[in-house]
Amino acid sequence: MSDIEAPLLETNDFEGNESCYIAKSFLDENPYKVIYVLSKFSEHNSYPNVRCCGRKMKEEHHISDCQIDGINLADDLVQALETLHVEGYKLQSITSINNGNYKTTVDYGAGWSYTQGLMVVGVKN
């Protein structure tokens, strides 16, 4: 085991995008590059233009606890793939990292999974 310790993920190189992280390597000439693309939950407003009891309901901003913003995830994935291409790496794989959650009540329980992020692996050309 090496005495050298390094964080698993370095700060991102994606111009302020906090959704992509590049894995650190201990090798000077590492033929692989691993980028972790973090997904975000979707945001939405509820009660738009809904009337109840003759008056308009208040609009509220919500962040989902189970629905991923797929459009944002696709944009972040494209950014990771472009980084691999510009730095001379060929895409080897994209792996979905899933996470689960559940809620229970007196009468029933419910569980679901969602995409926590994507592991993008490139190999040096």
Identify whether the C-beta of residue 120 lies closer than 8 Å to the C-beta of residue 80: yes
Output the average pLDDT for the chain.
Answer: 77
Regarding pTM above 0.75, the answer is no
User: How many domains does the chain divide into?
Assistant: 1
CA angle 87, 88, 92 (to 5 degrees): 110
pLDDT of residue 112: 80
Indicate if the pLDDT at residue 4 is higher than 50.
no
pLDDT of residue 58: 64
Q: Is residue 3 part of a domain?
A: no
Q: With 0-12 CB in 10 A as exposed, 13-18 as middle and 19+ as buried, what is 37? A: buried
Q: Is residue 58 part of a domain?
A: yes
Indicate if the pLDDT at residue 123 is higher than 90.
yes
Q: Residue 63: what are its φ and ψ, rounded to 5°?
A: -115, 125
Q: Among all chains, which residue has been given the structure tokens 């111009």?
A: 15
Question: Per residue in 21-76, pLDDT tens?
Answer: 787 777 777 888 899 999 988 886 665 556 566 666 666 767 777 678 889 999 99
pLDDT of residue 3: 43
Q: Is residue 33 part of a domain?
A: yes
Q: Is residue 1 part of a domain?
A: no
Q: pLDDT confidence of 16, banded at 50, 70, 90? A: low
Q: Is residue 51 part of a domain?
A: yes
Taking only Cα atoms into account, the Rg of the chain, rounded to an integer number of angstroms, comes to 20
pLDDT of residue 52: 60
Domain that holds residue 105: 9-124
Q: Is residue 45 part of a domain?
A: yes
